[in-house]
């Protein structure tokens, strides 16, 4: 068999993909991304958080065999771990890949699990960024559930992004959805909600660094409350890792 031609640089492919699918809806963008040779092989990365079930369901309807990477930082809420099992079983996800921090690194850097108090960036790098980069190594890109309405660095998201330094493409099928779109999708498809949503958690990460959100607050206000930090480090902004990576 002839060898497949190598993929063009991610920046070139992203520009063409965003042009080609600019007027498509979320489901169509996801379906095309999973089959378009210019995207390459994809995995989905999911936190199984407050709104994750919408995109997880969408993926399961199109192709349940898509690899789904779940980062168990070993500092998650027990409710998140239970919810992850419930959703994966209900949706029939057949290739769930659970990644945890390196044991030796934890022993050396964070043996008492208190690093999040003194250096949350380093903690995120240890428990999320590095395990994710290892998990994504075999893939040409990954699917995220980020949306423009979540604000901050996400306000100008496109469907497709080039990830600097890796050559991978990030696919954001829900980039243009608003909160109402997500909630309607969850209700219309009778999907289970994360149990902490009812307790005021609108963005859910690790237990020590996540708090409920009050009415009128930004959706991610409960993440690293009181610190100059609003991303864990697994996403790039303006060509650089958002904190965490340097740590």
Could you tell me if 11 and 158 are in contact, meaning their C-beta atoms sit under 8 angstroms apart? no
- If we measure between CA atoms, which residue out of 129, 68, 131, 84 comes closest to residue 103? 131
| pLDDT value for 238 | 39
Evaluate whether residue 184 is within a structural domain: yes
3-state secondary structure of 207: helix
Evaluate whether residue 233 is within a structural domain: no
Cα separation, 195 vs 189, whole angstroms = 17
Show which residues are catalytic: 232
**Total number of domains constituting the chain:** 1
The two beta strands, 168-171 and 141-143, are: parallel
3-state secondary structure of 68: strand
Give the global pTM.
0.86
Could you tell me if 160 and 173 are in contact, meaning their C-beta atoms sit under 8 angstroms apart? no
Q: In terms of C-beta distances under 8 Å and separation of at least 24 residues, what long-range contacts does 114-123 make, across chains too?
A: 116/75, 116/206, 116/208, 116/209, 117/208, 119/247, 120/209, 120/224, 120/227, 120/229, 121/229, 121/233, 121/243, 121/244, 121/246, 121/247, 122/244, 122/247
Indicate the angle between helix axes 52-62 and 26-35, nearest 10 degrees. Answer: 50
Evaluate whether residue 163 is within a structural domain: yes
Cα separation, 3 vs 204, whole angstroms = 44
Evaluate whether residue 3 is within a structural domain: no
Q: pLDDT per position in the chain (247 positions), as tens?
A: 344 567 788 889 999 999 999 999 999 999 999 999 999 999 999 999 999 999 999 999 999 999 999 999 999 999 999 999 999 999 999 999 999 999 999 999 999 999 999 888 899 999 999 999 999 999 999 999 988 876 666 667 899 999 988 889 999 999 999 889 999 999 999 999 999 999 988 889 999 988 888 777 777 676 776 666 555 554 444 334 443 333 3
What CATH number did the domain enclosing 153 receive? 3.40.50.620
Domain that holds residue 18: 10-102+137-227
- If we measure between CA atoms, which residue out of 173, 121, 181, 119 comes closest to residue 144? 173
Evaluate whether residue 1 is within a structural domain: no
| pLDDT value for 231 | 55
Evaluate whether residue 149 is within a structural domain: yes
Evaluate whether residue 122 is within a structural domain: no
| pLDDT value for 247 | 32
| pLDDT value for 9 | 86
Evaluate whether residue 82 is within a structural domain: yes
């Amino acid at each position: 068999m002839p060898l497949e031609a190598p993929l063009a640089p991610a920046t070139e492919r992203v520009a063409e993909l965003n042009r080609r699918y600019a007027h498509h809806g979320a489901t169509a963008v996801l379906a095309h991304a999973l089959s378009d040779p210019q995207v390459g092989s994809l995995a989905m990365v999911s936190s199984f958080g407050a709104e994750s079930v919408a995109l997880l369901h969408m993926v399961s309807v199109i192709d349940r065999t898509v690899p789904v990477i779940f980062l168990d930082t070993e500092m998650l809420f027990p409710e998140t771990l239970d919810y992850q099992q419930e959703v994966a079983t209900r949706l029939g996800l057949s290739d769930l890949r659970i990644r945890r921090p390196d044991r030796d690194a934890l022993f050396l850097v964070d043996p008492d699990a208190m690093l999040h108090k003194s250096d949350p960036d380093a903690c995120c790098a240890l428990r999320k960024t590095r395990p994710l980069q290892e998990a994504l190594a075999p893939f040409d890109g990954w699917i995220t559930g980020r949306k423009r309405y979540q604000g901050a660095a996400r306000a100008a998201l496109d469907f497709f992004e080039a990830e600097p330094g890796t050559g991978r493409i990030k696919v954001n099928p829900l980039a243009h959805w608003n909160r109402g779109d997500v909630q309607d999708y969850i209700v219309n498809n009778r999907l289970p909600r994360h149990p902490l949503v009812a307790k005021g958690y609108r963005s859910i990460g690790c237990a020590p660094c996540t708090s409920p959100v009050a009415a009128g607050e930004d959706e991610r206000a409960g993440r690293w409350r009181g610190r100059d930090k609003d991303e864990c480090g697994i996403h790039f902004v303006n060509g650089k890792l958002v904190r965490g990576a340097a740590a």
